[in-house]
Amino acid sequence: MPKMKTSKTAAKRFKKTGTGRLRHEQQNNQHKFESKSSNRKHRLDRDADVHSTDEKKIKRLLAER
């Protein structure tokens, strides 16, 4: 069986931490900042954990075993 290739789209969207958790950038943080409060913009700036039910699928896309 050939090696599994990394999904480049997933590699751009998800990062693996040093402890092995998966993180992603939050949505609604690209444009239209005038209508958002500074508290909201600050909160959206942080990366969020991937939900536990999605981790297995994403790890497969990143070709991690």
pLDDT digits (tens, 9 = 90+) for 3-24: 889 999 999 999 999 999 999 9
Cα dihedral sign, 31-9-51-18: negative
Which architecture characterizes domain 8-61 according to CATH? Irregular (4.10)
CA distance 27 to 25: 7
pLDDT digits (tens, 9 = 90+) for 20-61: 999 999 999 999 999 999 999 999 999 999 999 999 999 999
Give the tokens for residue 1: 């069986």
For the chain, give every domain's residue range: 8-61
